[in-house]
Amino acid sequence: MVAKAGLVLVAACACACGGPLLAKDGTVVFAQQGAHGASVVTADGVEFHDRIDVPKRIVVRDPDEPWRAPVGFILPSDGRFTATSRPTILATTGFAITLRPSDTRVPMWGGEVLIRVDILAPAAADAARWGEDVAVVIEGRGADSAALAEVALSQLGGRDRVIIVDALGAKIVVPRMPASTRSIAMAAIDRRLERAPRNGVNDLANAIKVAHGALAKATLRRLVLITDRKTAEPIGAALAKELTALHDDHVAFFAVSSVADGSHSALDAFSQDAGGTWNADGDLNARKYAVRDAVPAAGKAAWKDVVLSFTGTPAPSHVLEASGGDARWALDAGELALGDVRAGDERTEVIRVSVPAWIAGEKFSFGVTARFGDVARNGEARTMSAVIPCVYDDDIERIAKSRNGDVIAYASALATLKRLDAAFVGEGVDKVEGLAQIARIHARSMELFARDMKDPASKEQADFLNALLAAEKDD
C-alpha cells in the first residue's frame, strides 16, 4: 500500500486521506490504521511503503549505466529516529579518522549508506596555533568570491570558529560554528552567491558590525573582507566607524579583491596593529596567497595525500557522492581523496556509498583503508584499516527504525544546501520544493531523542542544524 503526498503538503500539514501529517511535535504521522512500513522521500514527495511491499532489485547489465537505487531515501513512518551511530575508528599517533554509518541494517534489494567521516589531527605542541574566531564578509558577487572564501576556510583547524556574513542585506549566511564544518560553510556560501536575495541592498557597514558582534571576546579574532569594491568608491562615515571599531577592539582586518581589476587603496588606512590589509589585484593565485597570509594555517603539514578506500563484501560498493574531497570510482570499490592534513586540523565530510543486493540475514561489511604519507618520516607511506559491520534485511520498517539519526541530521544540512542533495531525492532534486522541511523534521527528531534519552550530543546536533536552517532561510 502506497500513499503519496508532496513535500508542500507535508509542510502545510495536509489532511488528505491517507497522506502524511506533520504533528505539533515535528513527527510525521500516516493516517493508515495499523499500517506497518516506512516513509520514503522521492522526487515526487513522501511515500509510504508497506513492509510487505518489497522493492525489486535493479539488475544492471551495462557498466556505463548510471547508478539507481531501488527505492528512495528511507525514514521511519513517524519521522522519529530512535538510534544514533557507533563510531568505527582508524587511528595512529597524532591522526584519527572516525567513521559513523547511517545504517547497520541494509536492504536486501540494494541501496545506499551515508557515512560521516571525521578527520582529526590533534594540535601537537609547537605544531599548531591557538584557535581563533574568523569572520568572512562577502561584498558583491565577484567572480572569485567563492574561491577566495574556500582558501580562507581551508586554513582553519579544529579549534577555530567561523562566521560568514553577506553584505547584501547584512545577512548571516553561516552562524558561528566549528571550522570542522567547512563543507557546510562552503555549501552555504555557494548557495548564497548563486541566489539573488530579496533584501539585497548592499550594507557593508552593517555587515561588518554584525560579523564583529558575532565574534567571541576571549580569543584571537580576524575579519576577512572579500569585496568587488573599486578604488573610486568612497568609504562613508558608517563604514569608517565600523572599521575603527574593529581596530579599537583589536580585531585583525583584511580585504582582498574578488575581481581581477579590483583595488582597495581606500581601505589601507584601516590596517590593523594585529595584522594588515591585503589588496592584491590581478592574478587569482596572488590573491589566494594574500588570503593565506591573512589567515595563518592551523598547523604544519603532518599527513600527505590522505585517501580513504571503501570496499564492500559482497562487492561492489562505490562512493556515489561526497560533501567534500574527490570521489573516485574503481572497478569494485570507491575512494575519497582528502588531500593533505595539518596538525590541529579537524574536518567532517559525508559520503554516499552504494550497497549491492544480496540475501536477507547475510552479513555485509564496508572495509575501509586509509592511505597517506607521514611527513615526519620523509613521506613514508602508511596505511590503517577497519571494518564497518552491517547485515542485510528484507523488512523496510525494521531498516527505517534502525537508522542513525545523528548522521542523517548532519547530512540533512548538507542536502538542504545542495552539497549532498542526491542522497535524499536522487537526480530529481529540482522537482521538489526543497529539502528544508525534511531537514527540520530531522532536527526536531533529534531534539526529541535528546529529551527522551537525556543525550546532550544529540541536542547539540539538533541546535546546530536548526541554527543553519534559520541562517539559510531568506529574509
Give residues with Cβ within 8 angstroms of 218, minimum separation 6.
none
Same domain, 275 and 344: no
Same domain, 156 and 227: yes
Same domain, 161 and 262: yes
Same domain, 117 and 149: no
Three-class SS of residue 419? coil
pTM for the whole structure: 0.85
Mean predicted confidence (pLDDT) in 128-135: 92
One-letter identity of residue 419: R
Query: How many domains would you assign to the chain?
Result: 3
Cβ atoms of residues 142 and 264 within 8 Å: no
Asked if the model's pLDDT at residue 52 lies above 50, the reply is yes
Mean pLDDT, the chain, whole residue set: 83
- Using CA atoms, how far apart are residues 448 and 27, in angstroms rounded to an integer? 9
Q: Is the peptide bond before 314 cis (omega within 30 degrees of 0)?
A: yes
- Using CA atoms, how far apart are residues 370 and 386, in angstroms rounded to an integer? 9
Q: Which domain holds residue 349?
A: 88-123+300-397
Q: Order across the sheet with 37-42: list the strands.
A: 2-5, 45-50, 37-42, 73-76
Q: Residue 405: inside a domain, yes or no?
A: no
Same domain, 95 and 188: no
Please tell me the number of Cα atoms within 13 Å of 279 on its side-chain side. 16
Task: Quick: pLDDT tens for 364-383.
Answer: 999 999 999 999 999 999 99
Asked if the model's pLDDT at residue 473 lies above 80, the reply is no
Same domain, 262 and 185: yes
Lowest mean pLDDT, pick from 10-14, 183-187, 441-445: 10-14
- Output 26 or 352, whichever has higher pLDDT: 352
Same domain, 315 and 279: no
Which of 294, 325, 347 terminates a domain? The answer is: 294
Asked if the model's pLDDT at residue 4 lies above 80, the reply is no
Which of 244, 267, 294 terminates a domain? The answer is: 294
Asked if the model's pLDDT at residue 11 lies above 50, the reply is no
Looking at residue 198, its pLDDT comes to 65
Asked if the model's pLDDT at residue 85 lies above 90, the reply is yes
Asked if the model's pLDDT at residue 63 lies above 80, the reply is no
Same domain, 162 and 274: yes
Lowest mean pLDDT, pick from 1-5, 220-224, 349-353, 470-474: 1-5
